[in-house]
Each structure stands twice: as structure tokens, then as C-alpha cells.
Amino acid sequence: MNLAALVLLAAANLAASAQTPTRPTAGAAPKNLSGLAVATFGGGCFWSCEETFEELRGVREVVAGYAGGTVKNPTYEQIGGEKTGHAESVQVYYDPRQVSYQTLLEVFFLGAHDPTQLNYQGPDTGPQYRSVAFYRSAQEKQLLETTIQRINATRHYAAPIVTQVTAFTQFWPAEAYHQGYMRLHPESGYIQHVSQPKVDKFRRAFADQLKPGKAL
């Protein structure tokens, strides 16, 4: 199946999907934020990115949504029109006593997506699929920049990282049917051919940091 067919198939899956998340908490921040920290990343289609961070030990909740744009409460259709400036993103609620922000960065840059692809990820093209990391403090910004410099220096990728490093402003949760989409539609051709290989790559690279039962 070629990439164009996979994109069309993903659109068909969306149109036919039930408008419900996979679990009661999907699409919302944890009710008790005590002791938790928050990080926001855009790494292409949020279906696989959400699942990747969900499987990381120390992560309490991951919400798929939109960040980095100018329109309040945007819809998936608006994002696809490339007029709002948003990127498909995930908001990660994690316990810093169990997993560090630096580990989240390692997962983001080395396991969740390809940070060398400019305004696309695999078959998904457009600025809404750009690689972007949102910082909430000067320390996070420094860690982001240092991590990018280090990975570039190791030549882990054949091309340099093009990830945007930008200040966090606002995150808008995506529609309910996007939350936990990969788990809800494992039979989808897009999930099997595009999303699942990304998650499998993450599982292999971070096998010792997965939640119980998540290894390959």
C-alpha cells in the first residue's frame, strides 16, 4: 500500500470511528495534578506520539491536541487547513520522581518521531505535522537546545535536527475520537503501516523504561 493510499485510509478511518475515547480519562488532564509536571511536544500525527509517551514509565496521562497556533479552541478540520498555525501535539503529564524531563526529550528525539523531517512525518505533510518542542522555563529551553546539539554531534541521524524550540502558550485538547486512537483502531491500515512501526522502534530503544507489559 503506497503512502497516498494510507493517508486516504486514515481519513476514512476517522470518518467511520466512534466518537468516544478508549478510556474515561482520555482527553483530559489528571484531576489531581499534585506532584506532576507537564511537557508538550509535536511530532507528526499525534496518534503514535500519544501511545509512545503513554507507555513510558512515570507518565500519568497523555492528551492529544493542538499547540503553537493563534486560533482559540481549533478543530481538526481547521488544523488540516493550515490556517491556524497549530501543530498536532501531545501534552504529557508525568511524575518527575519517576521520569525526568531529560528522559522525555530522549524519547521525543530518538524514539517518538524523526526530528530531521521539516513540516512532515512520513506520509503526513504540512506545518501541522512539524517537529516542535514547547518549553515552559529557561531550564527546559536550555535542555532542549543542549540535547539537539548533542544528538547532532553524534550524527545519530544523517541530517540535522529541524525541531522548532518555542515557548509554550496554550494547548487545546483534540476531539474525543482522537484520544487513544491507536489503541482503539489497531486494525487500521494507517496504524499498522505508519503508527505501529514508530511505537515498535520506541519500545526497542527504551525497553528498560517501559511500563509493565509494554515490551515487544
Known catalytic residues?
45
Return the SS3 of 133: strand
| Residue among 174, 6, 147 nearest 89 (CA) | 174
Measure the N-to-C terminal CA separation of the chain; round to a whole number of Å: 24
For the stretch 201-205, contacts whose Cβ atoms lie closer than 8 Å and that sit 24 or more positions apart, written own/partner, are 201/111, 202/52, 202/55, 202/107, 202/111, 202/112, 203/55, 205/110, 205/111
The answer to whether the beta carbons of residues 29 and 91 sit under 8 Å apart is yes
**Strand, helix or coil for residue 13:** helix
Q: Give the 3-state secondary structure of residue 38.
A: strand
> CA neighbours within 13 Å on the CB side: how many for 11?
10
